[in-house]
């Protein structure tokens, strides 16, 4: 049996090993917080490929760990390093995708699990762009999953001292960003990404303070670079954002927050489009100028 087949078998055995009622362990069996930190210090890429393929799915249980050093510094960082370094087999990455989708549907009382599942799914999406392995149906399913995840975020906590990052909107935007870079997407799928971004560009009662407008702008800029719309098309899309702010009311905190968020989003797009030398990206500018003029 090949090394890759052995790794894939290990993943399947790990997924099947625990009873359905048993909560996966973090740190995983055979590891301690100290040994994981030692691996982090040495560099996750130093772990032999076979062991990385075994440890990767087990680390998913750490994505909702309350300690950011474990959740972010070990679990996410390890998974990203192995995927970017090409150490995980396609079977392992596919198993991660399935397990991460399930985590998006789980209860997340502390608010860490879903955002970090989305962030790791951004890395899964990247692997398919670098070396395509998803079927068209799988890729379409991921676009819809990512769009629905971003649209559904209602926990707007970003960074909190002692707890680290949640940042659900930003992580969802990063997932859509990786998908936006994929040339295999159809225009319908690209438009679905825009629709999801529009929903969170202007949330109902929250003022962004952790850089979310910039992160949301990134997939839009990438889709513009891909030539999704001409000037008229971008103007038509941007016009749909203004009604989300509502009628001007300078004494209403919700309206002020919505105005703040839309203005920050439009300005982020405008700065990047102005600096860009790509005519497709510059096609955003007439619509952005009009949208900024019309905003109270």
**pLDDT value at position 23?**
63
pLDDT (mean) for 48-74: 98
User: Is residue 216 within a helix (H) or strand (E), and if so which, with residue range?
Assistant: helix 212-225
Q: What is the pLDDT of residue 24?
A: 81
Q: Assess whether pLDDT exceeds 80 at residue 56.
A: yes
- The pLDDT tens digits for 193-224 are 999 999 999 999 999 999 999 999 999 999 99
Q: Do the beta carbons of residue 144 and residue 186 sit within 8 Å? A: no
Tokens of 15: 């997924």
pLDDT beyond 90 at 1: no
Q: Is the pTM of this model over 0.95?
A: no
- Mapped onto helix, strand or coil, the DSSP state of residue 24 is coil
**Using the 8-state DSSP alphabet, how is residue 110 labeled?**
T
The H or E element spanning position 294 is helix 285-294
Instruction: Decide if 71 contacts 63 (C-beta within 8 A).
Output: yes
The count of C-alpha atoms lying within 13 angstroms of the C-alpha of 73, restricted to the half-sphere facing its C-beta, is 15
Q: What is the pLDDT of residue 10?
A: 45
Q: pLDDT tens digits for 239-276? A: 999 999 999 999 999 999 999 999 999 999 999 999 99
Quote the DSSP letter at residue 131. Answer: S
Q: What is the DSSP letter of 159?
A: E
- CATH code at 89-294: 1.25.10
Domain boundaries, the chain: 89-294
Cα separation, 124 vs 109, in Å, equals 25
User: What Å distances lie between residue 78 and 7, 64, 117, 165, CA to CA?
Assistant: 17, 15, 13, 17
For residues 29-37, average pLDDT: 97
Please count the residues of the chain. Answer: 296
For 104-161, the pLDDT digits (tens) are 999 999 999 999 999 999 999 999 999 999 999 999 999 999 999 999 999 999 999 9
| Confidence (pLDDT) at 100 | 99
Report the SS3 class of residue 193: helix
Residue 17 has pLDDT above 50, yes or no: no
> Taking all residues of the chain, what is their mean pLDDT, rounded to a whole number?
94
Distance CA 250, CA 187 (A): 39
Q: Is the pLDDT of residue 46 over 60?
A: yes
Under a CB-based contact definition with an 8 Å cutoff, are residues 99 and 56 in contact?
no
Strand duo 159-160 + 164-165: pairing = antiparallel
Which residues, listed in sequence order, are joined to residue 164 by a DSSP beta bridge?
160
Instruction: Pull the structure tokens for residue 282.
Output: 């510059």
Read off the tokens for 185. 């997407």
Helix axes 168-180, 212-225, angle to 10 degrees: 10
Identify which of 120, 64, 114, 42 has the alpha carbon closest to the alpha carbon of residue 88. Answer: 120
Radius of gyration of the chain (CA): 21
pLDDT, residue 3, reads 41
Confidence of residue 11 (pLDDT cuts 50, 70, 90): very low
Q: How confident is the model at residue 9 (pLDDT cuts 50, 70, 90)?
A: very low
């Amino acid at each position: 049996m090949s090394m890759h087949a052995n790794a894939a078998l290990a993943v399947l055995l790990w997924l099947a090993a625990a009873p359905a009622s048993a909560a996966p362990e973090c740190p995983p069996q055979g590891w301690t917080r100290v040994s994981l930190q030692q691996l982090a210090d040495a560099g996750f890429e130093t772990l032999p490929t076979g062991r990385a393929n075994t440890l990767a799915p087990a680390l998913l249980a750490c994505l909702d760990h309350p300690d950011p050093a474990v959740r972010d510094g070990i679990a996410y960082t390890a998974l990203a390093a192995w995927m970017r370094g090409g150490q995980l087999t396609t079977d392992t990455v596919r198993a991660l995708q399935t397990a991460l989708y399930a985590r998006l549907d789980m209860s997340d009382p502390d608010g860490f699990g879903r955002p970090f599942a989305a962030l790791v799914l951004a890395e899964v999406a990247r692997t398919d762009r670098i070396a395509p392995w998803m079927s068209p149906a799988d890729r379409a399913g991921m676009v819809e999953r990512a769009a629905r995840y971003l649209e559904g975020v209602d926990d707007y906590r970003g960074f909190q001292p002692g707890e680290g990052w949640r940042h659900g909107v930003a992580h969802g935007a990063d997932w859509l960003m990786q998908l936006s870079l994929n040339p295999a997407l159809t225009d319908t799928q690209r438009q679905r990404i825009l629709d999801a971004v529009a929903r969170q560009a202007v949330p109902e009662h929250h003022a962004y303070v952790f850089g979310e407008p910039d992160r949301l702008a990134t997939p839009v800029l990438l889709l513009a670079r891909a030539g999704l719309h001409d000037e008229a098309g971008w103007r038509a899309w941007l016009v749909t954002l203004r009604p989300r702010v509502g009628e001007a009311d300078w004494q209403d905190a919700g309206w002020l927050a919505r105005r703040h968020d839309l203005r920050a989003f439009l300005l982020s797009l405008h700065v990047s489009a102005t600096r860009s030398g790509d005519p497709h990206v510059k096609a955003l500018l007439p619509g952005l100028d009009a949208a900024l003029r019309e905003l109270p």
